[in-house]
Amino acid sequence: MSVQTSWSFYGRRVELSQLQAILARKRWFFLQISGRRRIGKTALIQESLSAGQRTRTLYMQIPDSDPVGVVAACNGYLETFGRPERVSDLGELARLVARLAEADHIVAIDEFQYFHRKPLSDFCSLLQAEVDRLAARASEISGGLIVLGSLHAEMTALLEDRDAPLFNRATDRLDLDHLDTSSILEILRVHADDSPQRLLFLWNLFEGVPKFYRDAFEQGVLAAGRHELLHRLFFASSSPLRGEADNWFLRELRGRYDMVLQQLAKSPGCTNAEIESAIAQVSRAGEIKQIGGYLKILTERYRMIERKLPVFAPAKARSGRYYIRDNFLRAWLSALQRPVSATAFRPLEELIAQADQRLASVEGFALEALAGQLYEERSRLGLGDFPLSERIRGYWDRGDVEIDLVAVSESERRIRFGTCRRNPEKLFASLDGLRTSAAAFVQTHGRFRDWRHEFVAIAPEISESLRVRLSESNIILHDLHDLTAGL
């Protein structure tokens, strides 16, 4: 396989088309783009503006600072972009945005969520007056404003809260999620290889965050072995991802929620009570009372964790378990953080091997998530033999039920139960438990009693000899070759 030596823009075809359609209107627009850090918000804008030949642009990134710091940063960007203007306060900044839009410019303001901070909140009221004036003359103005943000709750509060000055002012909205598996496979096919082992290893680390794949490419290790990639990206003194989690996740929290995240990394699926009990052993009593608030903020504001309910539980059920939702953060906290921090005291190869071993154990959970995502993507594209109508999510609140994948095809009245094992040799041992769990599931949820019941065993790669040995088990075999075929 030939490996290309230059990086391109991958994926985001739908979002790119939507953004280009907005620019093609040639009228005033106010676009909100939201998504986690490093997800590719700025790259999407750059690609769209380049494709549309829009050269009149100004990009500014707002620091987490006071008004003086924001003004200084904005003046720095004006100088960088060769603009003669300078601003002395937030009011002048709002007016400058409007003047540039009237002059056919695209102004992009990154980290817009920081205007939710109290010292900067006046800017939104000042900007509202300018936005309303521009909207009244929308057909006469071909410039626009793009605001980008990585904190979901604060972006929502600024632009979608009814009491917010900018409520209902945005003309368009894009929410960027992780790259789909097709895009990741495209990256791997161009710059490395799309073997099941490499796909699972990298997806467990990076999921669909394009910046991380590009970091690996720029370090020359996207096609390298596991130890070399970990060394170059995390353990060397100049590693680009060595401080990523601390700088872009944990620093944002200012250290207050670290105990909660550490507990969830160590024991995925904790209940509120279990988290309180664990933290009570290492903290003051006053901190325990705040755990509910910490969980709420980590879930709703930062979207770092998610609360899952028991299967088929009502949406308002009080029971629930918490999980870290971001692959990179989970991999960092559960496998990488401690070995990386010990590089000054322990042999490097020993630490890398330790981190790799821990990552391998986490990959079992990642395989379940990846298999479920691939079922969704394949069904959406009309690939495969299972037209998915629903994936049953949540956790099993019965101790005798353990099923890694439950896929429902309403149109064909088929339900498929799956077991996922990182080590394919362990599939044998899981089949009896899968059938027993499926029977318990159907007994509890009689809706599926008369449906066709199917069983699937999933592993990263299943050899032909193992397929032969499993052929008499009346079970469907899927490895990542099968699940990525056609993507």
pLDDT of residue 444: 86
pLDDT in single tens digits along all 487 residues of the chain: 556 679 999 999 999 999 999 999 999 999 999 998 899 999 999 998 886 666 689 999 999 999 999 999 999 999 999 999 999 999 999 999 999 999 999 999 999 999 999 999 999 999 999 999 999 999 999 999 999 998 878 898 999 999 999 999 999 999 999 999 999 999 999 999 999 999 999 999 999 999 999 999 999 999 999 999 999 999 999 999 998 877 766 566 655 678 888 899 989 999 988 988 888 887 665 566 678 888 888 888 888 899 999 888 887 888 899 999 999 999 999 999 999 999 999 999 999 999 999 999 999 999 999 999 999 999 999 999 999 999 998 888 776 678 999 999 999 999 999 999 999 999 999 999 999 999 999 988 889 999 999 999 999 999 999 999 988 888 999 999 999 999 9
What is the CATH architecture of 365-484? 3-Layer(aba) Sandwich (3.40)
Contacts of 239 (CB under 8 A, 6+ apart): 219, 231, 232, 233
Alpha-carbon gap, residue 347 to 367, rounded angstroms: 31
Domain 13-175 has CATH 3.40.50.300: yes
CA distances to 70, 161, 273, 322, 458 from 413, rounded to whole Å, are: 58, 42, 39, 32, 22
pLDDT of residue 152: 79
CA distances to 87, 366, 391, 458 from 39, rounded to whole Å, are: 30, 19, 25, 29
189 and 1 in contact (C-beta within 8 Å)? yes
Look at the block and give the residue holding tokens 């069983």.
455
419 and 431 in contact (C-beta within 8 Å)? yes
Q: Model-level pTM?
A: 0.92
Element (H, E) at 415: strand 414-420
Contacts of 69 (CB under 8 A, 6+ apart): 63
pLDDT of residue 254: 57
Residue span(s) of the chain under CATH 3.40.1350 come to: 365-484
